[in-house]
Amino acid sequence: MSLELFRTTNIDWLGKKWYFLGFSLIFSVAGVLSMLFWHHVPLGVDFKGGTQIRVAFDQTPNEDHLRQAMDRAGVKDFTIQRVSDPSGHAANKVIISLPEAGDQSHDIGRQSVEGALSANYHDSAFTIEQIEIVGPTAGKQLQKQAALATLYSLIGMLVYLWFRFELIYGVAAVVAVFHDTLITVGAFSLTNQEITLTVIAAILTLIGYSMNDTIVVFDRIRENLALSRKESLHDVVNRSINQTLSRTVISSGLTFLTVLSLYLFGGEVLHGFSFALVVGILIGTYSSIAVAAPMLVAYQDWRAKRGKVAALPAGKRAKA
Amino acid sequence: MGKNLAGKTASIIAVLVVFVYGILYGSNVPKLGSLKSLLADNIRLGLDLKGGTHLVLQVHVDEAVTSATDRDVARLKAAFAAAGIAASVGKTDPAHPETIVVTGIPPAKVSDARTVLEGSDYSIYDTSLLADGTGTLAMKLGAVNDLKARTLDTSMETINERINSLGVSEPVVQKYGLGENQILVELPGISNPAEVEEAIQSTAKLAVYAVVNGPWDNDQAALTALNNVVPPDDVLVHGSATSTGPDQVWLLERASQVEGTDFRDAQPSTDVNGRPNLTFTLTTAAGDRFYKYTSAHSSTSASPGSMAIVLANKVRSVASINSAIRDRGEIEGNFSKQEVDNLSLMLRTGALPASISYTETRTVGPSLGAASIRQGVIAAIAGMLAVMAFMLIYYRGAGINADLALILNLVILLGFMGFSKATLTLPGIAGVILTIGMGVDSNVLIFERIREELRAGKTAAAAVQQGFAHAWVTIVDTHVTTIVSAAILFLFGTGPVKGFAVTLTFGLLANLFTAVFVSRVIFDRILETKERGAALSI
């Protein structure tokens, strides 16, 4: 006999929407509070400019000695951070950061840190593994690029969904995506991880993924609406979610497996990127059921209250 | 049945062979070698995996405009003087370096002045001269843009030559950004930015200026000596007369006598005392101008003067003009041999027409790059094994179907990379991993639908047909949205992010083929061997 996790489920998803709303609110508000008052939005060197140097030591570095080495050489405003990496490979590495110094003195930060370490840190030998220096001009440019990419992505998706479905489907999907992005960025704020260009790429990817997931549910809703004109939208949506539940959980589970593998084994450089995907895939799957579908029904109920057409149109081009 | 399964199977095998070839050899001729060496040669690695330096340079093209108008101010003054017209010529607005202002022409001489302004020397300007003896020359917009574009191009060529002297394999020097006069330099294998900056930085703007007054110990002393008035044609510049001397301040003429681009050749040599110095030759036009100046101000003339060599806005050497120099001369000033070698290389390959500053520097050391590759590959293999195992357990026979499609998917993806010579970056490896997850999603969609149809009582063949038909619409929708997302990332992303967009797009395109066509063919072949009404292993 075949293994089936969800043979025929019949859960009233829409009935649980207040629980979902509460759950979403808790995480959204926690994230927003952290962004406003606690860690704020930790921006990587790509956006806030500055110098970031990743140093690997032969033996576990002594942070106090590092600080003293910097102070003695007169290096100011530096921060020293241990590299976080679940696989434990990066135990002997630190990231030394300096704030931005202006386009004219682009290289000064790096030179002063390297000089300070060579001259004053004698606990063990070290190698500079990675250097990132972003001047103010470049920082602003990259911010603009990231913002444009996000904006165009969302507009592109909205247009495509409007084209394939009705506008309300597109709006519901975009609201779900906004919810996902907010919670993911909130997660970065809560865990104080930096948002770099690759993290933005991960966020754009999870926007795409969340859309995908929402589209699968919407496709089924549209198909079912075309088949049965007598059922209420409420029942159709519930049935559609139940029918696609198997696919949703397994598919998301498999994607989550691959992304988890990336997070655990993929190394320190991709750490932020894989964290965004891990959070994003979970939340993206959740939002299709908990945010997009209820929004659709809520909009429909609102229209009904105002005395308009009772049945949600099946959407354009509903071809099987 | 007439489904031509044999033909379809043959085409799938053909695709497999073609793309395996692509992985190993790309579009080149096949050769022998171990798998690892073939892969290493054929798949291009990004800087974050190979190790290297990525620089973004800002070319200050406005300086070229300023220099050009400064020279024309001097030229116009000389022309007016030669025509006996007393006038004051200068630039009054620092925000508009392309505009020259003329005032104080006696009304009687206005028509003579007009004749001068209509000369060919000033054809790139829009000139207007009023009857009251004032006027402006504004460089035409087309000329300004042309000058800026040429400055950017020349800077790129010059930097390219400097980079070649570093002996880097496959360097990249190209225009960058959304039109802000920036240059991208990528040097695989070099992870010490200081080394690169020294080769490039010494291409900073070099010019020779006439010394008006000085030196003083600091700005205060200079201003006191000048009664707090710096004449509009002159400028205070810091530096030192020798490479080891103290920092001092000179008053130099704003317009240069010789620009970096005027040097035709420069060679290191030694003077009579065996100290390193530099011999140079200028272009003929520059030589003529230089001769006029040096003969008027040589040590034997009525007003002896000296010249300052300014590099990157700092005085590097001050030399008295011993005799008139036309186009051959020597620069001496306590240089070390290394400095003279660098200076002459710089002058020989053509100095930059404008100065540059760095806006972005990123380097990755080779050990970090190798570690990233290792970790990325491990993560990919771990992810793939987990997915394949799950599909086998959950979907049994159909799971084999999905796993085969997945392997073919990866082969096509990597083959695409080999054929198109696309660069694999670390996020690119992540894109491969994501493709595994999202690719198998298509299979899950189809299989779940088939199971649904089987539960509703359809036969195996009908269930398969319905499953593929219904799932097709959703598969197209999801793939298109993700590919649109990836396309936007490709347009707006930097190198590593572009790599991610590329592998994700190739992977999804390959998936459209494998999850739909290949899986269907495998199902059809299995159905062919089954009797009517037999159960399907799914």
CB A141 within 8 A of CB B180: yes
Q: Which of B193, B430, B451 sits opposite A270 (nearest CB)?
A: B430
Rounded to the nearest angstrom, the minimum Cα separation between B406 and chain A is: 13
ipTM above 0.85, yes or no: no
**Residue A90 — very low, low, confident or very high, per pLDDT cuts 50/70/90?**
low
- Best B58, B441, B503 member to test A by mutation, with max A CBs in 10 Å, is B441
The Cα of A281 is separated from the nearest Cα of chain B by a number of Å equal to 11
Can you tell me which residue has the tokens 């190739």?
B506
What is the chain A residue with the closest CA to B377? A266
The CA distance from B189 to the nearest CA of chain A, in Å, is 13
Q: What is the C-alpha separation between B148 and B154, in angstroms, rounded?
A: 10
Report whether CATH 1.10.132.20 matches the domain B5-51+367-529: no
Q: Using an 8 Å CB-CB cutoff, list chain B residues near A128.
A: 191, 365
Q: Do A208 and B482 count as a contact with CB atoms less than 8 A apart?
A: yes
End-to-end CA distance of chain B: 23
Q: Which of A89, A104, A134 sits opposite B360 (nearest CB)?
A: A134
Same fold, B5-51+367-529 and B207-326: no
**CA-based nearest distance A157→chain B, Å:** 7
Q: Is the CB of A127 less than 8 angstroms away from the CB of B367?
A: yes
Gap from B145 CA to chain A (nearest CA, Å): 22
Looking at beta carbons, which residues of chain B come within 8 Å of A253?
Answer: 390
Confidence class for position A312, pLDDT limits 50, 70, 90: low
Chain A closest-CA separation from residue B431 CA (Å): 10
Contact A51, A97 (CB under 8 A): yes
* Closest Cα in chain A, distance from residue B356 (Å): 10
If you measure CA to CA, which chain B residue comes closest to A250? B444
Chain B residues in contact with A250 by the CB 8 A cut-off are 394, 444, 448
Q: Which burial class, exposed, middle or buried, applies to B521 when counting CB atoms under 10 A from its CB (0-12, 13-18, 19+)?
A: buried
* pLDDT in single tens digits along all 538 residues of chain B: 456 888 888 888 998 888 888 888 877 777 777 777 777 777 888 888 888 999 988 888 888 888 778 878 877 887 888 888 888 888 888 888 888 888 888 888 888 888 888 877 777 888 888 888 788 888 888 888 888 887 888 788 788 877 877 778 788 888 887 668 899 999 988 888 887 877 776 555 678 888 888 788 888 888 888 888 888 888 888 887 765 678 888 888 888 888 776 776 677 888 788 888 878 877 767 777 788 888 887 776 777 778 887 877 888 777 777 677 777 787 766 677 877 776 676 666 556 677 888 888 899 988 888 888 888 899 999 999 999 999 999 988 889 999 999 999 999 999 988 888 888 988 898 889 888 888 888 999 899 889 888 888 888 889 999 989 988 888 888 888 888 888 888 888 777 888 889 999 999 999 999 988 899 998 888 888 877 767 778 8
Cut 0.80: pTM above it: no
Q: Tell whether the torsion through CA atoms of A266, A272, A276 and A282 is positive or negative.
A: positive
Q: B62-144 architecture in CATH?
A: 2-Layer Sandwich (3.30)
A273: closest chain B residue by CA: B427
Contact state of A133 with B375 under an 8 Å Cβ cutoff? no
Q: CA of A136 to nearest chain B CA: how many angstroms apart? A: 7
Contact B180 A141 (CB under 8 A): yes
Q: Are the Cβ atoms of B368 and A130 closer than 8 angstroms?
A: yes
Coil/strand/helix, residue B514? helix
Report residue B220 as tokens.
């205060």
Preferred mutation among A127, A246, A270, A282 to probe B, highest tally of B CBs within 10 A? A270
Beta-carbon separation of B427 and A273 below 8 A: yes
Q: Where are the domains of chain B?
A: 5-51+367-529, 62-144, 207-326
Q: Tell me which chain A residues have a C-beta less than 8 angstroms from the C-beta of B357.
A: 103-104, 106, 135
- Set of chain B residues whose Cβ sits within 8 Å of the Cβ of A110: 193, 361
Tell me the C-alpha distance between B413 and B504, whole Å: 9
> Which structure tokens are listed for A19?
């629980």
CATH 3.30.1360.200 fits B207-326, yes or no: yes
Residue of chain B whose Cα is closest to the Cα of A207: B485
Enumerate the residues of chain A whose CB falls inside 8 A of the CB of residue B439: none
Tokens found for residue B172: 């990249």
User: What is the pLDDT, as a whole number, of residue A316?
Assistant: 46
Contacts of residue B481 in chain A, CB cutoff 8 Å?
157, 160, 208, 211-212, 215
Which of these, B476, B537, B532, B460, lies nearest to B508 by C-alpha position?
Answer: B476
Tokens coding B30:
């096949």
Q: How many CB pairs under 8 A join A and B?
A: 241
Question: Can you spell out the DSSP letters for B417-486?
Answer: HHHHTPEE-HHHHHHHHHHHHHHHHHHHHHHHHHHHHHHTT--HHHHHHHHHHHHHHHHHHHHHHHHHHH
Q: Which of B63, B184, B191, B375 to mutate to test the interface with A (most CBs of A within 10 A)?
A: B375
The CA distance from A305 to the nearest CA of chain B, in Å, is 32
Indicate yes or no: CB of B489 within 8 angstroms of CB of A160: no
Nearest to B362 among A132, A246, A266 (CB): A132
Nearest CA in chain A to B504: A205
SS3 A48: helix
Could you give the CA distance from residue A107 to residue A96 in angstroms, rounded to a whole number?
Answer: 14
Domains of chain A: 14-42+139-305 (1.20.1640.10), 50-133 (3.30.70.3220)
The amino acid present at B436, given as its one-letter code, is I
pLDDT digits (tens, 9 = 90+) for B279-334: 887 776 777 778 888 888 777 677 777 888 787 788 877 777 767 777 778 776 66
B390–A54 CB contact, under 8 Å: no
Contact B386 A198 (CB under 8 A): no
- Are B426 and A269 within 8 A, CB to CB? yes
State the nearest Cα–Cα gap between A301 and chain B, in angstroms.
Answer: 27
Nearest chain A residue to B473 by CA distance is A320
Residue A187 is predicted with a pLDDT of 94
Q: Are B397 and B522 in contact (CB under 8 A)?
A: no
User: What is residue B95's predicted lDDT score, i.e. its pLDDT?
Assistant: 82
HSE-up (13 A, CA, CB side) for residue B449: 23
Which member of A110, A254, A267 has the closest CB to residue B390?
A254
**pLDDT tens for residues B219-232?**
888 888 888 888 88
Q: Which residue of A has its CA nearest to B469?
A: A320
Residue B276 and residue B340 in contact, taking contact as beta carbons nearer than 8 Å: yes
